[in-house]
Structure 1
Amino acid sequence: MGNSLGVTFPKEVLDHLGIQHGDEVKFDLQNGSVDIKKKAQLKLPKGVDADFLEQMNDMMTEYDDTFKGLVNR
């Protein structure tokens, strides 16, 4: 698995999350915990790059408080 480690999850957990073989999974790290979610399947308009949108979303999430603080400046 390259420079990563592999992990297995009980079938009940995967069923609860709606995750099946081949699905992409998103990990959100916050305050020492990890949220595991099935990555949403979006149909983007032609010419819109999914990786760019994901990076923008990650940036907006990471700097949300900073952006909110700029509103009143």
Structure 2
Amino acid sequence: MGVNAMSKKEIRKVTQMGNSLGVGLPKAITDAFNIKRGDELEFEVKDGQIMITKKVKWEDQVDAEMLEMLAETFEEHHEVLKRLKDR
């Protein structure tokens, strides 16, 4: 099910989780947004509504070519970076 295909509303009860309150996420939402255990969700209040956004990990945005370019840059400037670290 794609993100845009979701239109059904679901209701969840707020429960006590230690000193916090928690709400379980419906499977349809976790599947649509590929939310896994350990992912971070950002909460924002906007115009009287709670907006929830899945934080994208930098590792998920970096491709192999970019990693290779970074490795080459670090290798090329190793001495300069080492001197900066030791300051």
Structure 2 length-normalised TM: 0.42
Structure 1 length-normalised TM: 0.49
